């Protein structure tokens, strides 16, 4: 008995074994760090005149991991008791994190994070599309499976309404590749009006 205890203590503190332990810890750190920082989140535009930096937040079921690293922020997605917590921390500051909650339901919620205004925002199921020919609006609606649309040529764009399950950010990226579309923009939800 007395001979075994010193052997054990030698095994854990022996400097000869320390480099292997450290190597293991470092290896684990790099694996974890690599897992959480490489994937780049897609950005999307709100307005041609504004430099909004909207980063598309993946839906919880689509998120391949729970932490995303942006240039200035770290974003975490966590499901908790039928709710989903979205948390953004600004790097290099000790500010409180920006937290946004959503109820975890079958109804799709399309979220973006505005890095300028530092807040999470929901996208509406409408997008603004600048066309080079507004007579093609009907065929555009049909071919893109949009629900409906209305052209406002005097304003220089059309507004398309999308089915709830279609992600507006993905839709704008896809529709911009079409010949008749010059550009497309998402629309964020306005906070509900509070009666005075």
Partner 1 sequence: MEQSVVNISQAAQDYLVKLLEKEESGCGVRIFVAEPGTPNAETCIAYCREGEQHQGDLPFHYDGFTVWYDERSIPFLENAEVDFREDRMGGQITVRAPNSRVPQVGPDAPIEDRINYVLYSEINPNLAAHGGIVSLVEVVDDNVAVLLFGGGCQGCAAVDITLKQGVESTLLARVPDLTGIKDATDHSITTNAYY
Contact residues for partner 1, defined by CB under 8 A: 47-49, 124, 126, 152-156, 159, 189-191, 193
Shorter beta-carbon distance to partner 1: residue 49 or 95 = 49
**Which CB atom, from 52 or from 68, has the smaller least distance to partner 1?**
52
Q: How far is the CB of 92 from partner 1 (least distance, A)?
A: 25
For residue 141, the minimal CB distance to partner 1 (Å) is 15
Give the whole-angstrom CA distance, residue 110 versus residue 129: 18
Q: For the stretch 130-152, what's the b/e string if a residue is b when 16 or more beta carbons lie within 10 angstroms of its beta carbon?
A: bbeebebbeebbeebebeebebe
**What is the closest distance, in whole angstroms, from the C-beta atom of residue 166 to partner 1 in the complex?**
19
d(C-alpha 141, C-alpha 149), whole Å: 7
- Give the nearer residue to partner 1 in terms of CB position, either 21 or 156: 156
Nearer to partner 1, 177 or 190 (CB): 190
């Amino acid at each position: 008995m007395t001979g075994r205890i010193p052997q054990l203590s030698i095994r854990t503190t022996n400097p000869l074994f320390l480099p292997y332990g450290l190597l293991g810890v470092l290896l684990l750190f790099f694996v974890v760090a690599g897992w959480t920082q490489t994937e780049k989140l897609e950005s999307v535009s709100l307005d041609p005149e504004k430099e909004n930096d909207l980063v598309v937040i993946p839906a919880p079921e689509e998120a391949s991991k729970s932490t995303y690293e942006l240039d200035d922020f770290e974003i975490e997605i966590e499901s908790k008791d039928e709710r989903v917590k979205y948390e953004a921390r600004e790097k290099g500051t000790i500010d409180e994190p920006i937290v946004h909650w959503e109820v975890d339901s079958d109804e799709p919620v399309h979220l973006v994070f505005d890095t300028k205004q530092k807040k999470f925002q929901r996208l509406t199921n409408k997008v603004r599309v600048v066309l080079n020919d507004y007579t093609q609006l009907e065929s555009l609606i049909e071919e893109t499976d949009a629900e409906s649309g209305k052209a406002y040529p005097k304003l220089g764009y059309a507004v398309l309404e999308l089915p709830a399950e279609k992600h507006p950010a993905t839709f704008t990226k896809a529709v911009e590749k079409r010949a008749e579309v010059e550009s497309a923009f998402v629309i964020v939800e306005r906070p509900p009006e509070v009666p005075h």
